[in-house]
């Protein structure tokens, strides 16, 4: 029958649990998100890893947008919107999150 052309085989969708880095659940309401040239909007930090996070916001964001995120009055983190759906945004940080900030954010309970 010959060999199969692997180029056209469909891959199964990836599950959130298949991430390279585990995302820790967080419930932080005092977050802010801002696009270049736009004012800051309130956001809620839903989960967090050292390489990215998921936020919920009413801000109008699109996949590929460059974002500035601010949590608990910390310095602004630069990120990219990887996906946007139903008011939630998956963000990838430009630089790995500082371990001290990561620890502080994952210990917060509201």
pTM of the model: 0.73
CA end-to-end span of the chain, whole Å? 62
Q: In the chain, where are the structural domains located? A: 32-97
Q: Which residues contact 101 (CB under 8 A, 6 or more apart)?
A: 71, 74
Contact 27, 107 (CB under 8 A): no
Q: Which residue has the higher pLDDT, 88 or 26?
A: 88
Residue 12 has pLDDT above 60, yes or no: no
Mean pLDDT, the chain, integer = 80
pLDDT in tens, 33-84: 999 889 999 999 999 999 999 999 999 999 999 999 998 767 889 999 999 9
| Spatial separation of the C-alpha atoms in residues 52 and 36, rounded to whole Å | 19
* Torsion from C-alpha of 21, 24, 28, 32, nearest 10 degrees: 0
Topology adopted by domain 32-97: Thrombin, subunit H (2.40.10)
Q: Does the structure show a pLDDT above 90 at 15?
A: no
């Amino acid at each position: 029958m010959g060999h199969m052309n692997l180029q056209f085989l469909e891959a199964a969708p990836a599950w959130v649990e298949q991430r390279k880095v585990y995302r820790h659940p967080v419930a932080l309401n005092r977050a802010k998100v801002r696009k270049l040239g736009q004012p800051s909007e309130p956001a809620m930090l839903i989960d967090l890893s050292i390489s990215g996070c998921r936020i919920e916001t009413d801000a109008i964001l699109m996949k590929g947008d460059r974002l500035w995120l601010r949590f608990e009055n910390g310095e602004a983190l630069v990120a990219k919107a990887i996906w946007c759906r139903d008011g939630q945004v998956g963000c990838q940080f430009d630089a790995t999150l500082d371990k001290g900030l990561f620890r502080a954010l994952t210990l917060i309970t509201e």
